Amino acid sequence: MESNSQVTQLVDHLFRRESGKMIAVLSRLLGLSHLETAEDIVQDALLQAMSTWGFNGIPENPEAWLYRVARNKAIDRIRREKKFREILPQIKEEQSAIDSELALQPLFLENEIQDSQLRMMFACCHPSIPQSSQVATILKTLCGLSTKEIANAFLTTDETIQKRIYRAREKMAAEKISLDMPEGYECRERTDAILQSLYLLFNEGYLPSQHDNATREELCGEAMRLCHLLTKNSLTRFPRTHALLALFCFQASRLGTRTNDQGQIILLKYQDRKKWNHLLIQQGYSCLEAAAEPFEVSTYHLEAAIASLHAASKEFELTDWKSIYTMYEKLYQFNPSPIVAMNKAVAALYAFNPNRALEEMIAIDSLQRNRSCYFLTFVTCN
């Protein structure tokens, strides 16, 4: 018999890592209008895992166990609602559950799961849904963030986020939004909302908004996995997609050195650079190369370039601060926020002198806390 804490910890981890995948696959099976049904099925599967694993022990392959239970629950739900022939016309109602399982098996193969996730992300970013609602819906449905975490990312209230997600789902149902992949300009527009969602997801892992631990690496890993998925698809592998993955790689390379044994943040200046993940750093450089063609400049390119300069320096004092300052100047043209201005001032301190940094700080009208820009803060500070 497994301990309750061990089972709870594993189920929580699987919820973060697998629930979005299962919801995407089940929504593809049941239809986007049955999104809540798909979420209920996944929730039931996770609850069953909590109760079963505590008595029978954790199975050898917990992920496969969850997918099998979710798949069987979906079959049962279809039958109960007497829509079996409508949704799966190739399967006769009198066939056995084993035959039904075999017929559904292809949907749960890894490549089909990834395809379902892409389809779900694009459906959440349909142009008829406001962008703020698009991002919130992706973070809630596919990334497993709580309403509170999303509200903190948007600097708003839980109630506002709940309304945004509710209205987005109402719009999906009313307009019968499909899970088909868009093409051309519409694909580019929707990809931008997806990238913003992954950016916020990584931020929540890099600097959690409501947890005691200083980082939640599984969220960073999930953001990287989904971004890597986008770089492998011909419809979504834009230069800015590669640039965002490069930024993730450079930032994630420092995760193991950002906190001490007590969970307290270690500033960039005092981190042990020998312990940075140099394989991730090399992957970051490779992604930056891929982001160079065809030519475009995005905020992700500039942030990744800043992070790469930190990664290239063997010592804090040898960092190319003048180039970093130049990058922040360009970034400020794209995003003239107080946080970017503050980082530019920090770079001025090391690139020039305290007086130059003071002038930069005085020029800032206000330094409002903006969690969507925390990533920029920690490129320079830790």
Element (H or E) spanning 72, and its range? helix 62-80
Q: Is 84 helix (H, G, I), strand (E, B) or coil?
A: helix
174-216 pLDDT tens trace: 888 888 777 777 788 889 889 988 998 898 888 766 555 545 7
Most confident of the following: 4-13, 58-67, 308-317: 308-317
367: Cα separation from own chain's centroid: 27
Task: Report the SS3 class of residue 33.
Answer: helix
Mean pLDDT over the full length of the chain: 82
Predicted confidence at residue 370, as pLDDT, reads 45
Asked whether the predicted pLDDT for residue 371 surpasses 60, the reply is no
Specify the pLDDT at position 254.
94
Taking the alpha carbons at both ends of the chain, their separation in whole angstroms is 42
Q: What are the pLDDT digits (tens) for 255-276?
A: 989 888 887 889 999 999 999 9
What is the spatial distance between Cα 368 and Cα 380, in angstroms, rounded to a whole number? Answer: 18
User: What DSSP assignment string belongs to 298-318?
Assistant: -HHHHHHHHHHHHHH-SSGGG
Confidence of residue 97 (pLDDT cuts 50, 70, 90): very low
- Residue 365: per-residue pLDDT: 60
Residue linked to tokens 């631990």: 213
Mean pLDDT of 283-304: 95
Determine the residue type at 129: I
Q: Which of residues 300 and 17 earns the better pLDDT score?
A: 300
Q: Cis omega before residue 62 (within 30°)?
A: no
With beta carbons less than 8 A apart as the criterion, state whether 66 and 22 touch.
yes
Q: Indicate the residue type of 309.
A: L
DSSP states of 262-281 = TS-B--GGGS-GGGS-HHHH
Scanning the structure block, which residue is given the tokens 């042990």? 272
pLDDT at 130: 84
Nearest to 382 by CA among 256, 223, 299, 270: 270
Query: pLDDT tens for residues 128-181?
Result: 888 778 888 888 888 878 888 888 877 789 999 999 999 888 888 888 888 877
Q: For residue 126, give both structure tokens.
A: 């349909």
CA distance 178 to 251: 35
Could you tell me the pLDDT band of residue 87, with boundaries at 50, 70 and 90?
Answer: low
Asked if 357 contacts 349 with a C-beta cutoff of 8 angstroms, the reply is: yes
Most distant CA atoms of the chain, gap in Å: 81
CA 320 to chain centre: 30
- Rg, the chain, Cα only: 23
Q: Return the structure tokens found at 164.
A: 């945004």
Nearest to 79 by CA among 61, 100, 54: 100
| φ and ψ at residue 265, rounded to 5 degrees | -65, 135
| Domain residue spans of the chain | 1-108
SS3 52: helix
